[in-house]
Structure 1
Amino acid sequence: MERIFWEAVEENPIIAAVKNMEDLEKCCSLSDIHVVFILFGDICSIADIVQKVKEAGKIAMIHVDLIGGLSTREIAVEFLKNNTEADGIITTKPALVRKARELSMYTVLRYFLLDSMAYENILSQQHSVHPDFIEVLPGAMPKVIHRLCAEIKVPVIAGGLITDKESVMGALTAGATAVSSTNHKVWNL
């Protein structure tokens, strides 16, 4: 039976973000990891990468912006839906989130919180884009995450610079629903 994204995050709020085959093999061997953010691959390898994640019984979320050979247009989401077993996408592009939602895929809209303008973009776009989750980077900003979680209705995933138990707990205590990390030590917390 396929695990639902929300339930998987609720069961374990630590998401493994993988950037190479070594990371993929490691996270697939960990029974406590339920969601995998795929941050690597190309149009020739992505189906096999997703298949490994699915065979391990995990939810496969592809960061569509990072897959070599894919455009940043909606057709890329259709390609992933039709040619892989991916459960959903991660992207910085609102149009791709809309397309993925049309195709009944899970969606994570990623933002880089560099300044107050980026923060304001989150507040304004949450009403028009409707992703399942918003991921904010860097995630090691509990004060900002707390403020953001109080102002938006979309669950927040904190990612980037999540390197230890302290940063995980800081993000979760501030209101993040989950954290994503490429750090193997964090996956084992």
Structure 2
Amino acid sequence: MRLKNTIIPSVREIRHLSLACKSKAPIILLSNTDIGNLASQADYVHKCGKQAFAHLELIGGFAPDSTGLKLLKNMYHLDGVFTTNVQAGNIAKNLGMAVVYRFFLIDSRSLKRTSEILRKNTFDAIETLPAYCAVQEFANLQQLGKGIPFIAGGFVRDKKMVKEIFASGICGITTSKIELWN
């Protein structure tokens, strides 16, 4: 996954999908959808020349098992997923989907636990939440990632913070703040 100072629109409301697709981002994150409208959203994203990713834990009516992930790839034509579920991430990866592993940096134990997960699994990118903690701990995080791109998300509030995140060396940001999408 190639990311360099990329802001990934996180689309929570379907009415903002067209705005997200007008952004410079190569990826659109569908972060609040359901199985009833996911196919049309992914199709729209593809028609706009972008990759469609979904947040696995926020797809209504969906089970992140082998059958569900095969449907996401073959019927819904998703290019990738964001997930905190290691097992689902590995299933998606084995199906040829791009996987962004998400984790919450709460304390040193969460960092240690994530280190163990990343030692045993390979993902296309890692998203650390909240973004402020990702910036503060980026030197430690880089040691975990073995050259994997890092994305920061959560509480990205303004352009100043965007600059700070990219200055730290983190290569991507997910945000639902429409005014930051460009």
Specify the TM-score bucket, using the shorter chain as the normaliser: over 0.9
| 1:55 corresponds to which of 33, 47, 54 | 47
Do the aligned partners of 1:54 and 1:85 also contact (CA within 8 Å) in 2? Answer: no
Question: Which residue of the partner structure matches residue 126 of structure 2?
Answer: 134
CA distance in 1, matches of 2:21, 2:151: 21
Residue 122 of structure 1 aligns to a residue whose secondary structure is: helix
Which structure 2 residues correspond to residues 17-166 of structure 1 after superposition, within 5 A?
17-30=10-23, 32-141=24-133, 142-153=135-146, 154-166=148-160
The count of residues paired between Structure 1 and Structure 2 equals 180
Q: 1:151 to 1:110 in 2, by over 3 A?
A: closer
Unaligned runs of 5+ in 1: none
Question: Which residue of the partner structure matches residue 174 of structure 1?
Answer: 168
Return 95-104 or 146-155, whichever deviates more: 146-155
Q: CA deviation at 1:114?
A: 1.4
CA deviation profile, 1:20-39 (whole Å, cap 9, x unmatched): 11221211123x12211110
Q: CA deviation at 1:184?
A: 1.1
Q: CA deviation at 1:40?
A: 1.5
Residue 162 of structure 1 aligns to a residue whose secondary structure is: coil
Do the aligned partners of 1:97 and 1:129 also contact (CA within 8 Å) in 2? Answer: no
CA deviation profile, 1:120-153 (whole Å, cap 9, x unmatched): 1221111222110010110123211233124431
In the superposition, the TM-score normalised over structure 2's length comes to 0.92
Return 109-118 or 138-147, whichever deviates more: 138-147
Q: CA deviation at 1:119?
A: 1.0
Residue 132 of structure 2 aligns to a residue whose secondary structure is: coil
Return 167-176 or 44-53, whichever deviates more: 167-176
Identity %: 29
- Could you list the runs of 4 or more consecutive aligned residues of structure 1 that deviate by over 3 angstroms after TM superposition? none
Do the aligned partners of 2:118 and 2:144 also contact (CA within 8 Å) in 1? Answer: no
Please tell me the root mean square deviation across aligned C-alpha atoms, in Å. 1.4
